[in-house]
Structure 1
């Protein structure tokens, strides 16, 4: 296996430090360290001036204020040049009236794309798939979601997921399927027989010793 192929097969890992980067973007140079103290949603797209990617970028742009309210920054990426990114951003504003307020990494060398496993040989050797990474304020990888090139992401799901991660961190709880803010959360299961026996009397919404919910 060649060194390039080995690099292509590397992927970041959950709950490990996200790969560092120092990249040229449409808003100047950006490094992972620049986002210290904030949550970061880093997402890739296959190419500029493509229809599915255009809808996704408008979706992220329209949700940018909601992400910002959650102390979360957005950062796009594709294996295109700065000039292509600038032309595309201008084209989106001219054709759709949507301003893209976040930076876009120009990754012609594919260095960032390879470090994050965005290039999937089964899809393309020269374009990034629709990969999305949520990185916490300490630079730790907390979630990774990969979509095929043919299907766009749900931006609302990433808003929901960031809020769920923040809620879990702040309250030492888990969140159920499709949880949204304001709904009950899941109490972590007990770790001893004694705690399991007393779980029913803790005042939770109790179903069984391993399954209880509470409101925050």
Structure 2
């Protein structure tokens, strides 16, 4: 994966299955996510094994993301028609159970995955890559998982809280920071005071 931290995420226009189930053949990333924080996550393929657990886990937490002004976008190299079929497939048959409350994008030409450096050369599908963007489309976090390793969705909720906390207060977020923690004043005195009081709890 290339390093995009601190850089603006690329704009693109590709097909998408919208949250209401309709197909938008010309979904423009910048336009559709204006003034939003963004979680854009890549997954290998529809109708696979780890993938439905991740997409359902995100769907179960969609209100947590919406309350933080986060637009969630899933993306794979499948077509929109495959996405639609997978959404409509029952849970017991490995599908998404009939509905999804966020957008699924189709990188069927593989241009975006290739540009980002997350396309597996052998299988021709994307790794489990995630990008956390602020409202300016700046990449604040990027992660990549190998195919068999599912993501912890609660961690992405925490990351948006951490970004918001830093933007508001200027204090940095220590290991294991959670919402409600005080953070660290970014100075020699600040880190010294924090470590003296909290090192056993890290």
Instruction: Report the TM-score when normalising by structure 1.
Output: 0.79
**How far apart in 1 are the matches of 2:68 and 2:192?**
28
- 1:31–1:93: structure 2 CA closer, same or farther, 3 Å change rule? farther
Which residue is equivalent to 2:9?
18
Shift of 1:206: 2.1
The residue matched to 2:193 in structure 1 has which SS? strand
User: What residue is the counterpart of 2:29 in the other structure?
Assistant: 32
What corresponds to 2:67 in structure 1? 69
Larger Rg: 1
Q: Distance in 1 between matches of 2:58 and 2:139?
A: 20
Asked if 2 retains the 8 angstrom alpha-carbon contact of 1:93 and 1:99, the reply is no
Distance 1:35 1:65 in 2: 17
Return the offset for 1:99: 2.9
2:55 aligned partner: 57
Structure 1, unpaired ranges of 5+:
1-8, 191-195
Which residue number corresponds to residue 6 of structure 1?
none
Runs (4 or more) in structure 1 with deviation over 6 Å come to none
Structure 2: segments with no counterpart, 5+ residues? 19-23
User: TM (normalized to structure 2)?
Assistant: 0.85
Aligned residues: 189
1:132, 1:145 within 8 Å by CA — same for their partners in 2?
A: yes
